[in-house]
Amino acid sequence: MSEQQPQEESRPDLPIERGFPIERVNEIAEKESRGKQWYRPIYTMHKWWARRPGCLFRAISLYSLVDESTTADEVNVYDPGENQTLGDNGLSSSDLIGAINEVDLDNPEPLWEFYAKDVRIKDKKILDPFMGGGTSLVEASRFGVESSGVDLNPVAWFVTKKEMDAGQADIDELESAFDEVKDEVAEDILEYYRTSCPNGDHEAEAMYNFWVKELDCVSCGYSVSLFKDYRVAKERYSDDPGYHVFCPGCEGVTVVDNWQEESECDLCSHSWIPKNGNVSRGGYYTCPECGQKESIADASEEQGKPDATLYAVEFYCKECDEAGYDKAIHKGYKQAGTLDKQLFAEAKKEWNTRSDLHQYVPSESIPDGWKTTSGKFSGSAPGAGDVRPHGYEQWTDLFNERQLLLLAKLLKSIDSVQSQDAKEYLLLAFSDSLMFQSTFSIYNQLRNNMEGIFRMNSYVPQSDFVENNVWGAEFGRGNFQNTWDKLMEGVRYAREPTDRYMKDGEMIESPKFAQPIGENSEIHQGDMRNISVKNEYDAILTDPPYYDNVMYAELSDYFYVWLKIVLQDIYSGFDDNHTPRAESIVANPAQNKTVEDFEHEMGEALDVINDALKENGTLAFTYHHSDEESWGELLESLCKNDFEVTATYPINSDLNKFFGGEAVSFDIVIVARPTEDRRPISWDSLRRRIVRTARETRETLEEHRELASGDIGVIEMGKSFQEYSKHHGEVHRAGEVMSAKEVVDEIYGIIQDNDRGEQDVYRDLLEEWKPTYDDLNKHLKRSDASEAQMREMQLFRMEGNDFILCQWDDEKRQAYVQSKVEEDNGDLTNLDKAHFLRYRFEQGKSTSNYLERWDEDELRELCEGLAEVTRDETYLKMVGVDTSLAEFGDD
């Protein structure tokens, strides 16, 4: 039996390490992810990729920035709106302290009561070294802590800068600056988006212009329109909607009942199947005249960038609306007419003659990259893209001449604004609107609106596209007018944020908080590996890069080259032709950066993070991946850099598929603390602890929480990681040291099987100090073992009221074992074998012929565990393990 060990002095527990209200967070996160503009409009001020829900980082902050040693003097609690202490309203600082200490795995919600309260936490500093779109900084700043952020990408830096500045922004100044730009250029821009109303002799507003590219047939020379199909849009205002479609016979826009069946044009009686366009899967087009099939990319390389033809317009007519016409009359789709084509021709002419405006569009070439010119490289990273064969060499090639003209006019006007802060917010709105202002935008016929360039996190050349109204009509998406309105909602929210939470099945919005976003914060653009501070931060809250999932540098160049025009003489991060590539921590074949490079660079980052944290500091981060191997690499990287995993929690994920063996992407929160204490242990002992911990965790959660099985599995996995990370690099198995990846593989099997039999219970009892019958029942309760079977195996017996745990030399135990060996019927356990061999070894008898018959590795593993728990090296010697107990430490 093991000896009792002195208890080491422990660091203060964090609520997030003892429990986390996954259910409460997820019920908000699911809704917030679909409606950021209503829940947290600050995160819709500008596009950034892979943003985590703000409610998640608010909850992480609340559960990470206080601990069991926090006192009532170190926190203040206010009611949103009134900004009065809550002592008179049922919740106070003392209540908060009580809630901190009540949080545990089966009831994490005492602290959740303060989620929608205005909590201020004193003397805390947090860092996000991969701040991206700034979610962690925004949410942490609302607790009044000092927050610092770093990002290599200058676009991310600028977006987050304006988010963090927004709480102190002067709304009157911003609105005045917008009006100044509007007065200067809005009318001029809108002149180019007039169209003839199909309902009378007057003009309407052009919301969207529909274009299709054309290539010559390589066989007969016929000009082929590159329609995938002939749909324009779904009917909006019909109980039984059909589709507006383009007729290739008369080039008009008509309505058909079913676009997938043969239809007849109401305008010219032409018969065709609108589903059958000239473009097929794989990027090929077929000539309708001679049937020749050719690759679009190959033809584009040979013929040059394809020309495009304007064929349809979505319009809104204010005059018809005010006259009381039905919606289907005053807002709809029409054939592109003479005026539409004339206005584009005038814009093209003006662009080609206005040399003064060309400085306000990017002059840079599109740089080589995995998302832009992957054909030049080899590698296995997903999401490759190649725009060169389609004729895109310069960034300006992604826009038509009208877009370039009007975007340049708008940017020039923004650049003339005197207030630097207002100019930057106008520039931010301009940049965000660019998502919907290129020839890479498409029209979503099912939703009747346009989709921007980054709907697939890549550059996808389009054979047909939609041109947006740059300034904005009365309706429409992604134009400058409504992008500015969206930004201003974010600014107002930053000044007086609110929170939403579920109560009695209803989503409640809190009153406005008095604490604005962004106070006591600073952000920096640069490589986080250059952070030099030591022992500085109480917590590091972040969302780190994930292998090759999103190549931020290559995608954000699209915004960067436009922002650079105004910012290059103001901020040092905007003085290059593109965003930093070589320093990005990502696997990218275009940079010859492999997964091994990523792991090495993440290791460097974690080393910096460990140094920056205070001794008892916390690293809490979200992680996203579906690859089982990546979890082993993550765990190994954390442990190599002296972190101990202390908790994991799932976020809105279907983990049932994952634990069922299917690959599925999911998000997870991982909590880790710095440690230098690595204690040696045998795999046999660690495995039993992991099995025991996983089972106890599952039973606790199933009894007290409403969680999906897969979600419980993630928490089990975190608890298992926690057990392993205490012993990283010191887990001994059959004479070898296990790697983190090997342990993770085993952990998956443990969580799936979760078996604890008689052998496990017996060894658990060996670890007890003077085990009792009550101890036996305690372990049996959370196992698959039976008391009767253990009695039959002579693993214990009762002598009166005394509980006797039988050792190898117990006569009855040895008699049972020897009879089993003689029967040789296949039900001999490894524990039986170990006790049998121990008896022979003590008698000086040979064991080699038995070792040859039995699985030596499994026996060695078991004997390592027995030697460790009993402190008896004989178990090692008898199976030839060349290891001393000293190597297992004194755990």
pLDDT band at 86 (very low <50, low <70, confident <90, very high): low
Per-residue model confidence as pLDDT tens digits over 754-781: 678 898 899 889 988 899 999 999 889 8
The kind and range of the H/E element at 444 are: strand 442-444
Q: What is the mean pLDDT of residues 655-683?
A: 69
pLDDT, residue 658, reads 37
State the pTM of this model: 0.88
Q: What is the mean pLDDT of residues 596-605?
A: 89
Return the structure tokens found at 420. 């630097």
pLDDT, residue 438, reads 97
Per-residue model confidence as pLDDT tens digits over 457-496: 899 999 999 999 999 999 999 999 999 999 999 999 999 9
Give dist(CA 499, CA 508) in Å, integer: 8
pLDDT band at 855 (very low <50, low <70, confident <90, very high): confident
Q: What is the mean pLDDT of residues 530-551?
A: 89
Q: What is the mean pLDDT of residues 97-119?
A: 94
Of 240 and 66, the one with more pLDDT = 66
Q: What is the mean pLDDT of residues 360-381?
A: 87
Lowest mean pLDDT among 50-54, 195-199, 223-227: 50-54
pLDDT band at 654 (very low <50, low <70, confident <90, very high): very low
Neighbours of 112 (CB within 10 A): 21
Residue 351 reports pLDDT greater than 90: yes
pLDDT, residue 343, reads 98
* CA distances in angstroms from 28 to 21, 62, 499, listed in the order given: 11, 16, 10
pLDDT, residue 891, reads 46
Burial status of residue 328 (CB atoms within 10 A of its CB: 0-12, 13-18, 19 or more): exposed
Neighbours of 220 (CB within 10 A): 12
Give dist(CA 273, CA 292) in Å, integer: 19
Most confident of 205-209, 368-372, 652-656: 205-209
Torsion angle (degrees, nearest 10) of CA 529, 535, 539, 543? 10
Beta bridge partners of 147: 126, 521
Q: What's the per-residue H, E or C state across 272-297?
A: ECCCCCCEECCCEEECCCCCCEEEHH
Residue 810 reports pLDDT greater than 90: yes
Q: What is the mean pLDDT of residues 279-300?
A: 93
Residue 625 reports pLDDT greater than 70: no
- Closest-CA residue to 446 (of 683, 687, 241, 142): 241
- Percent share of the chain, pLDDT over 90: 66
pLDDT, residue 68, reads 92
Residue 58 reports pLDDT greater than 50: yes
Residue type, 177: A
pLDDT, residue 836, reads 95
Beta bridge partners of 224: 215
pLDDT, residue 135, reads 96
Residues constituting the chain: 891
pLDDT band at 749 (very low <50, low <70, confident <90, very high): confident
Lowest mean pLDDT among 46-60, 74-88, 156-170, 506-520: 74-88
Residue 646 reports pLDDT greater than 80: yes
pLDDT, residue 100, reads 95
Per the prediction, the chain carries an average pLDDT of: 90
Neighbours of 420 (CB within 10 A): 9
Return the structure tokens found at 202. 């007057």
Q: How many helices (H) and strands (E) does the chain have?
A: 31, 32
Per-residue model confidence as pLDDT tens digits over 2-52: 443 434 457 889 999 999 999 899 889 888 888 888 999 999 999 999 888
Return the structure tokens found at 117. 């309260």
Give residue for tokens 């406005």: 512
Residue 591 reports pLDDT greater than 90: no
Residue 155 reports pLDDT greater than 50: yes
Return the structure tokens found at 783. 């196992």
Burial status of residue 657 (CB atoms within 10 A of its CB: 0-12, 13-18, 19 or more): middle
Give dist(CA 560, CA 62) in Å, integer: 34
pLDDT band at 82 (very low <50, low <70, confident <90, very high): low
Residue 889 reports pLDDT greater than 80: no
Give per-residue burial for 799-827: e unless 16+ CB within 10 Å, then b. Answer: eeeebebbebebeebbebbeebeeeeeee
Cite the beta strand spans of 604-720 per DSSP E.
613-624, 643-651, 667-674, 681-682
pLDDT, residue 549, reads 67
The kind and range of the H/E element at 151 are: strand 146-151
Q: At what angle do helices 758-767 and 683-704 cross, to 10 degrees?
A: 100
pLDDT, residue 191, reads 98
Residue partners of 27: CB distance under 8 A and separation at least 6: 502
- Percent share of the chain, pLDDT over 70: 94
pLDDT band at 783 (very low <50, low <70, confident <90, very high): confident
pLDDT band at 804 (very low <50, low <70, confident <90, very high): very high
pLDDT band at 546 (very low <50, low <70, confident <90, very high): confident
Residue 610 reports pLDDT greater than 70: yes
